[in-house]
Amino acid sequence: MEPSTQKLIHTFGALADLGQEIAGTGDFTEMVRTSMHLLLGTLALRRGAVVECSGPGPLRCVAIWGLGDQALNSLEIDEPEMASFLCGEIRESLVKNTSSANVFLNKHRDNLLAEGIELVVPMIVRGEVTGLVLLGGKASGEEFSNDDFETVRAMVRHIGVGIHTHRLLEQLAQRAEENRRLYDELRTIYRDTVRAFAAAIDIKDKYTQGHSERVGRYSEIIARELGWSEEEVEGIQIAGYLHDIGKLIVDRDIINAPHYIDAKNSSELNRHPNAGYEILAPIRHPYADIPLMAKHHHERLDGRGYPDGLTDQQIPMGAKIVSLADSFDAMTTDRPYKRRRSFEDVVVDLRENSGKQFDGKVVAAFARAILKEVKGETRERRITKMLGKNYLEGDQVETLLADLISDLEGDYFRQDAKAQSL
Ligand SMILES: [Fe+2]
């Protein structure tokens, strides 16, 4: 085989290797380093470097071989120097060519020659200089031939595209990060706004300070125990905060009536789930079904709830959770007409009403979450904080919860087995 054919095949092989290296998803610096070594190896060059720039200023060394670590530290490029590389006839420049019109070379010639750099090739992608490839002379001492220039041009173009692509990917990652940050900020703003609303709802009802906030937190705890995703958990928390937003349209005297309210006032008060739905439905919430959870938080599994008298399967799961959180908070906080109930009493109520008012699976999940906290298995004691220090104390609490869970889960499995046998 002719030496020139051999050389051609060798160059093709190097170009193929270079293409593979650049298309790889590995480390960027490693990619540039390997590419430069392929280039040096193909032409048997003693030394070389790849420097990049993203505008006028210092050139950043990405790969260097056969030169001192500090050799290129002082290299800078300005606007006219970048422009001079964009002129077609001086795309690659021999450093020793003193008649060159390249202003970069004319400025740095002595420095480059002192370091043994003989050829400077700009990496130009989409009409911009992304950096320079600086090459030493051939190990054989021969001059660069036209074929060599062709090879250098092709390989440097590849490296330039690799650097350009890497930058685009970096910009994309930055934008994605920026978008994620903005989205998080928006969600925080949304949540803070919702909490402010919750506080406004609770202010209207002077007996239930902090009720909506607690319902939000209980709902979140129950949903997490039920294995809901983080996004769904955030959504149910919001639904809890807003479940009584419809009370904003109910007369303050009715909400704050200290005793029994008559049928007329009661039906006025019972408008609040539908009113809540009307208020929330036109808003584009970042979570699904918030308006429906507000609308149905007074439904019961036995169909005796309001506003629509829905039954078990018809009630959205989120509304079942908010309903339990709402009733639990009502039972465990003092009202003007009655003191809160003991935990034992509350457990009796929950057992009695599971399957009628509450969904047994939801009650069991809440009981499991409380039991975990009572046993010290949770990092925070959030439920205890809401109920006050002494409420969940006593020898009986663990047994009460364990019995409730086993009864409800037993019921659930029995129902499940019955459904499967039908
Ligand atoms: Fe309500």
pLDDT at 208: 73
Give Dmax over CA atoms of the chain in angstroms. Answer: 108
**Digit-coded pLDDT (tens) for 331-350:** 999 887 788 999 999 999 99
d(CA 225, CA 217): 12
Element (H, E) at 220: helix 211-225
pLDDT more than 90, % of the chain: 45
Quote the ligand 1 centre to 245 CA distance (angstroms).
8
pLDDT more than 70, % of the chain: 89
Quote the ligand 1 centre to 396 CA distance (angstroms).
31
pLDDT at 273: 96
Q: Is 122 exposed, middle or buried (0-12, 13-18, 19+ CB in 10 A)?
A: buried
pLDDT at 410: 81
Quote the ligand 1 centre to 52 CA distance (angstroms).
64
Band of pLDDT at residue 237, cut at 50, 70 and 90: very high
Quote the ligand 1 centre to 295 CA distance (angstroms).
9
- For the ranges 165-169, 262-266, 302-306, the lowest mean pLDDT is seen at 262-266
Most confident of 107-111, 163-167, 211-215, 253-257: 211-215
Please determine, for residue 21, whether its predicted confidence score (pLDDT) is greater than 70.
no
Please determine, for residue 407, whether its predicted confidence score (pLDDT) is greater than 90.
yes
**Digit-coded pLDDT (tens) for 79-107:** 988 888 887 644 667 777 777 777 888 88
Entry pTM: 0.68
**Digit-coded pLDDT (tens) for 167-202:** 898 899 999 999 999 998 988 898 888 888 888 888
Give the closest residue to 125 by CA, choosing from 157, 152, 154: 157
Please determine, for residue 328, whether its predicted confidence score (pLDDT) is greater than 90.
yes
Q: What is the mean pLDDT of the chain?
A: 87
Please determine, for residue 209, whether its predicted confidence score (pLDDT) is greater than 90.
no
Where is pLDDT greater, at 124 or 21? 124
d(CA 130, CA 28): 15
pLDDT at 421: 61
Quote the ligand 1 centre to 276 CA distance (angstroms).
9
Quote the ligand 1 centre to 243 CA distance (angstroms).
6
Phi, psi dihedrals of residue 180, rounded to the nearest 5°: -60, -40
